[in-house]
Structure 1
Amino acid sequence: MQPSNPVAGLHGGIVARPDRPMHGIRIAAVATCLALVACATKPLVPYSADTPPLALVAASQAGVQDKRARFREIYCAVLDARGPALADYRPCEDALTRVGVEPAGTGMPVDLGQSRRHLVAVVVPGVGYDCFKPWLNSPGTVVKHLQQFGFDAIMLDVDGLSGSANNARQIRDAVLAMPLPAQAPQLVLIGYSKGAPDILEALVAYPEIRSRVAAVVSAAGAIGGSPLANDAEQFQADMLRYFPGATCTSGDGGAVQSLRPATRRAWMAQNPLPSGLHYYSLVTFPEPERISSILKSSYEKLARIDARNDSQVIFYDQVVPGSTLLGYVNADHWALAVPIARTHGMIGSLFVTQNAYPREALTEAVLRFVEEDLTTSGK
């Protein structure tokens, strides 16, 4: 899930002042100054992985299925098979967080051969990605890794500073323009951060794309928005237009509004998700020591509500109603999807100090789980 968004919902994002272009370390330093600084106060709900996974409890009426055990089996098998040769390798027990009582594994074998369905991960990034994409200079290793096993991945271009309705139309146009074989649908739409609600809005507003979609995955998705957006303004996100090398535009200026919890709750209440599609939720639930230093202030600010957050989104706000819960990832919001430290080592060592994560193995595991689940269900 490499193509993504270091702004991560724009809260505490890496931005530059329009009158003073910045490079290297100075870019990361200004992020600290521009972050929505939070005082260290006692969390309303403390961090604990021992308590019941409230995302499931709260969403039980919405039919969320807990399949963490099978996803763990698949992810662990991928990590074991690919081994420490993978970039940012972690043992499986450190890659996933155990929350509450996790069901026992199935004991079924894991197929690590070539994909039979040739699923294609279509990643929709979050706020501002088109602004800092040139600077990030992502190595594209996720795509190369997946192609070895018959999968593929692309990143879909959307306006980084526009609202979800605008981006939903762009998703619709891109999906319909993709040349696909006349067989079972292959596209797995993966929405990272704001990309997840963008995808949901596209599926509701444009039914013509549904037959092309095999599954939908929320990866640290802002399904319920983020309380941090309540204190943010669009002009803060707009500053990304002055990022070194940025060519993005302001779009319709609706990105921040789309992330506010009231906006997301109202939209979900008025727009039932289309039936017949498979929805999956991959939730970031990091141990506190896995939060990068530059994200500590936003983590603490969200902790005033609930310390079980990834520095940008509370864990229960990442779950799609009626979805299958894949797992809780032991990574902060940026580490899940943004390889900053791989291409900017100095910034990694000083600011994004917990950015290392085996994203290649994670994405392979997600696609293998989806393929197995679709086959089992006869889809």
Structure 2
Amino acid sequence: MQESNPVAGLRDRREAQPDRHRRALWRDGAGVAAALACLALAACATRPLIPYSADTPPLALVAATQAGIQDKRARFREIYCAVLETHGAALDDYRACEDALTRVGVEPAGTGVPVDLGQSRRHLIAVMVPGVGYDCFKPWLSSPGTVVKHLRRFGYDAIMLDVDGLSSSTNNARQIRDAILAMQLPPGAPQLVLIGYSKGAPDILEALVAYPEIRSRVAAMVSAAGAVGGSPLANEAEQFQADMLRHFPGAICTSGDGGAVQSLRPATRRAWMAHHALPPGLRYYSLVTFPEPDRISSILRSSYEKLSRVDARNDSQVIFYDQVVPGSTLLGYVNADHWALAVPIARTHSVIGSLFVTQNAYPREALTEAMLRFVEEDVAMFGQ
């Protein structure tokens, strides 16, 4: 596949024209960075971010159990650490476990139960639903697909589900429904683990509520840096600014129904949650990005600081409490910014990574394996 990164075409001329190369590199690299910055909605906003108000959730960090959340960070840490220690060093972007997860508040003690790192008995399939604009920059990103390859070594599988990157959650919920019903799955226990990244999380939640016919195929739902409660940044952005992603190098996406930004506004998400109970009988999990400040990429620093006017405990796009599905099980706090969790920009575009997306490295393969191993173990305990 031909690389569509405009920076890449300049490499062969580096030796012959070093000064011209450097000027072009900054010009084209900045152009791609500007397009990427539109994913950080604050970068396209023209109004100042509204600070804390009566409509903003309280800033006090309470225990997960007091918020109606099951806190299973200790067990997830045991599983994730075992994965990293056993074969994580052979994978890209390895980190020691203590650096991969952020300790927040008082974390429960570990269970001490041995971690099974053998072949999956359930053969779970991770169905990943991406965030805003993914179909616009997917050709340019040219993801190497290493997560899927890694999971298949252990009897798991994964697919990226196509949705309209610039459409509303209601529109994308229908697309999720159609894709799930079209899957050829073996009879027996449900295998699908729906993983919603960023806006993908509310897209999935709306699908589970609106289309009961898909629930028998779903073993669990995971919010991974999910915009479950939306983001205050979306209050200051407009859809036409998100539509700038249609001009990303190689983009073939459309505006869809034009509802992506509206779907991310906190008032929209609060109203939806207030009128829609999540279906019982399914397991819900939340994996929250809660990075240390030095783990924020330089291109995301502006949106991180804007969002910090509401709450500094954010990943540059979403505040930590807005990532949690009500009544779910908390898996852990990940020491990574919003993009580092799921968008491997630096792996396929090293120049952009070194200049702009400076904290993009994260062991995603090991993290996804740990998520599936945790879910497999947890749903078995509930006889699902």
Give the structure-1-normalised TM-score: 0.88
- Partner residue in 1 for 2:297: 292
Contact 1:52 1:100 in 2 (8 A): no
Q: Secondary structure at the match of 2:216?
A: helix
1:251-277 Cα shifts (integer Å, max 9, x gaps): 000000000000000000000000000
Q: Distance in 1 between matches of 2:189 and 2:28?
A: 46
List gaps (5 residues or longer) in structure 2. Answer: 1-26, 54-58
Q: Distance in 2 between matches of 1:94 and 1:158?
A: 33
Q: Distance in 2 between matches of 1:116 and 1:31?
A: 40
Please say if 1:237 is aligned against 2:226.
no
Q: Secondary structure at the match of 1:35?
A: helix
> Structure 1 residues 81 and 30, CA, compared in 2 at 3 Å: closer, same or farther?
same
State which of 142, 148, 153 in structure 2 corresponds to 1:148.
153
1:172 alignment partner AA? R
Please say if 1:166 is aligned against 2:174.
no
> Structure 1 residues 264 and 39, CA, compared in 2 at 3 Å: closer, same or farther?
closer
| 1:1-379 matched pairs, under 5 angstroms | 23-29=28-34, 35-36=43-44, 53-54=61-62, 56=64, 60-61=66-67, 63-379=68-384
Q: Distance in 2 between matches of 1:333 and 1:147?
A: 26
Q: Distance in 2 between matches of 1:38 and 1:101?
A: 39
List gaps (5 residues or longer) in structure 1. Answer: 1-21, 46-50
1:332-377 Cα shifts (integer Å, max 9, x gaps): 0000000000000011001000000000000000000000001111
1:95 alignment partner AA? A
Q: Distance in 1 between matches of 2:250 and 2:63?
A: 40
Q: Which has the higher contact order (CA 8 A, sep 6+)?
A: 1
For the aligned residue pairs, the C-alpha RMSD in angstroms reads 2.1
Instruction: Give the CA deviation at 1:199.
Output: 0.2
> Structure 1 residues 270 and 30, CA, compared in 2 at 3 Å: closer, same or farther?
closer
- Partner residue in 1 for 2:11: none
1:160-209 Cα shifts (integer Å, max 9, x gaps): 00000000000000000000011100000000000000000000000000
Q: Distance in 1 between matches of 2:223 and 2:30?
A: 32
Aligned pair count reads 349
Instruction: Give the CA deviation at 1:83.
Output: 3.3
Q: Distance in 1 between matches of 2:36 and 2:134?
A: 16
Percent of residue pairs bearing the same amino acid type: 81
1:114 alignment partner AA? Q
2:266 alignment partner AA? P
1:289 alignment partner AA? D
Instruction: Give the CA deviation at 1:130.
Output: 0.5
Q: Distance in 1 between matches of 2:45 and 2:326?
A: 32
